[in-house]
Amino acid sequence: MIKELTTESDWLAAYPVMKQLRNHLSQDQFIAIVKEATVSEGYKLAALYEEGRLVSVVGFMPMVTLYNGKFIWVCDLVTASDARSKGHGKKLLSHVESWANENGYPVISLSSGLQRADAHRFYEEKMDYRKKSYVFLKEL
């Protein structure tokens, strides 16, 4: 079952799984950022449940840029370490694709850390994503 997470209690339930990807965030930071991004950016969280247990989370938001036009940016995708390689990530990305289609967003884009070779194989081989660019970051 996939459920959109819309309340603070939903977000708290997702934190232990999200922490496996975003381990630099405390629970309070996570809640504050999700709350702000939801209000100001249209950020959405959805979770996949297996036998009643939240095992995978995706965060995404609609955007418009000159490069992509109208598109969905997948900000976060993580499956609990003990539940990986069972198709959960594929189901959640397919959920995002359905949401994008239903809401008029013809493109989905994401970035993935250089060190995440398994994730890159997943995106390219199982989900038909293509490498299009590098993402650069400068911390101020």
Q: How far, in Å, CA of 28 to CA of 40, rounded?
A: 18
Q: Give the pLDDT mean for 96-106.
A: 97
Q: How would you label 1-23 residue by residue, b for 16+ Cβ within 10 Å and e otherwise?
A: ebeebeeeebbebbbebbeebee
Q: At what angle do helices 8-18 and 27-41 cross, to 10 degrees?
A: 120
3-state secondary structure of 53: strand
Assess whether pLDDT exceeds 80 at residue 114.
no
CATH 3.40.50.10490 fits 2-126, yes or no: no
- Residue range 26-72, pLDDT digits in tens: 999 999 999 999 999 999 999 999 999 999 999 999 999 999 999 99
Q: How many CB atoms lie within 10 A of CB 108?
A: 19
Q: What is the pTM assigned to this prediction?
A: 0.90
So what's the pLDDT on residue 42? 97
Q: How would you label 24-46 residue by residue, b for 16+ Cβ within 10 Å and e otherwise?
A: ebeeeebeeebeebbeeeebbbb
Assess whether pLDDT exceeds 90 at residue 24.
yes
Q: Identify the residue with better confidence: 38 or 111.
A: 38
So what's the pLDDT on residue 123? 85
Q: How far, in Å, CA of 71 to CA of 114, rounded?
A: 23
